[in-house]
Amino acid sequence: MLYIYNSLTGEKEQFIPIEPGKVRIYVCGMTVYDLSHVGHARVMVVFDVVTRYLRVCGFEVTYVRNITDIDDKIIRRAYERGERIQELTARYIQALHEDSASLQILPPDREPRATEYIESIITLVQQLLDKNYAYQAENGDIYFDVSHFKSYGNLSGKRLEDLRAGERVEINEAKTDPLDFVLWKAAKPNEPAWDSPWGAGRPGWHIECSAMSMEALGVHFDIHGGGQDLQFPHHENEIAQSEAATGSKFVNYWMHNGFVRVDDEKMSKSLGNFFTIREVLHRYHPEILRYFILSSHYRSPLNYTELQLDAAKAAVTRLYTALRETAKEEDSVPVLMDWSDPLAIRFREIMDDDFNTPEALALLNEIKHELNRAREEGNTKWVNHLAKLLRSLGGILGLLNYNPEQFLRDPRQADGKSDNDFSSQAIEQLIAQRVAARKNKDWAEADRIRQILKDQGIAIEDTQTGTLWRRG
């Protein structure tokens, strides 16, 4: 039985889908005004693994991850760069897709964009006005009246009185309560706007996600996910406006991944410790970043340091080294999982406990040790069984999808540098020369070539089938 920690109740709960055998998931995606960073990578990897695991368990999953393509930040960035909003967002959406593909993130089943759902947003705002949960202020903006939604604060565990004590109304706002939030913004000069019953304007951020999620998955669905920073006020506001409009429960299980920190400080541009996915993948193989993200439980803080990434690199390298001479090209295709295997049963028990990926990775490393032991003992049948199991379980986490030689010879494996100019061809030529020297029993020449390779960060291993090499 799968148990998920529900942020709404603060407890692990047995997962029971609304419709047997089917799961509907919505995850808050990116606001596309810049390149995606490590925090975005964590959201994408975490819910990619959640989706992969649910599907392996036999559920029919509908996974929706939105794109926010109209927002104050987007408008401001386009103005700063002197370009059209559509050009800005199109460029960063393409970059997002490229980054997620590099990390082997499976594409969501649906990827709605806010600007495609203006009609649904207007309908939702009108429902809230009709039910007296919203009002139009003197400045033309439409706000949600938090005081009319009695369970406001349940997701974040906050009381209205405490929230009001820490809030203030901005000078340019006309809302009646500091906690009221905007649903529709009246048109301003030189900003994009759409016609509505209340005049030209554009949607507020919170209402976009309610409209997109309910349009794609219905007014009541199973799982809503996102980063911990969205729990309040974004997700709190989503619950309020959605349930107020429909009179129905919005979501059964709320999942939030923890913050990303850099050297134990909060990641932020102002501190200069802000890393894009592309910057990291220039130096580290995508599976190393993925392994690093999964090495912490999704609800825990993730501390980004080069030391941690190097540790992940070493761990993934050891896994691929163990798979050498076992994984054939055709074996890289995921196979059907045999859940009767005792090790597979343990993996499932681990993942059923709120997707405990650190323990799952520990099990992969345990299987690796057993595989190496079996190889030393010459038990080929057991080696092949463990190798297939290791690749299959790793695949559920989106790992071990490469041919081992391809991974181990990737230039980024050379001391974390992607610009290593010691080519594979040059390495192969030196190895061929060394093989010839060994054949001629010229051990001094063979040792000299080994040292040249070692100085270039190339490790070699002489096996019964030939000489293997890897970077790093």
Distance CA 403, CA 287 (A): 12
**In 3D, which of 155, 200, 29, 15 has the Cα closest to residue 99?**
29
Distance CA 42, CA 289 (A): 9
Looking up tokens 């163990």 gives 322
Question: Does 57 show up as a binding residue in the annotation?
Answer: no
CA 81 → CA 44, 137, 203, 273, distances in Å?
28, 32, 23, 23
| Terminal CA-CA length for the chain | 41
Question: Does 83 show up as a binding residue in the annotation?
Answer: no
DSSP per residue, 110-132: B--BGGGGHHHHHHHHHHHHHTT
Distance CA 240, CA 253 (A): 15
Beta strands 221-227 and 251-257: pairing type? parallel
Sign of CA dihedral 422, 426, 432, 438: negative
Distance CA 151, CA 266 (A): 31
Distance CA 11, CA 254 (A): 11
DSSP per residue, 195-234: --TT-SEEE-HHHHHHHHHHHHH-SSEEEEEEEGGGIIII
Question: Does 238 show up as a binding residue in the annotation?
Answer: yes
| Residue ranges in 295-341 assigned as alpha helix (H) | 306-323
For residue 275, the tally of other CB atoms under 10 A from its CB is 15
Residue 58 burial by Cβ neighbours in a 10 Å radius (0-12, 13-18, 19+) = exposed
CA 323 → CA 19, 269, 406, distances in Å?
40, 40, 12
Question: Does 131 show up as a binding residue in the annotation?
Answer: no
CA 175 → CA 171, 196, 358, 397, 438, distances in Å?
10, 20, 46, 46, 83
Please tell me whether residue 12 adopts helix, strand or coil conformation: strand
Distance CA 31, CA 262 (A): 22
Distance CA 91, CA 284 (A): 24
Sign of CA dihedral 271, 276, 279, 281: positive
Beta-bridged to residue 26, according to DSSP, are: 64, 224
Q: Which residues are annotated as a binding site for Zn(2+)?
A: 28, 209, 234, 238
Q: Which residues are annotated as a binding site for ATP?
A: 269
Q: Which residues are annotated as a binding site?
A: 28, 209, 234, 238, 269
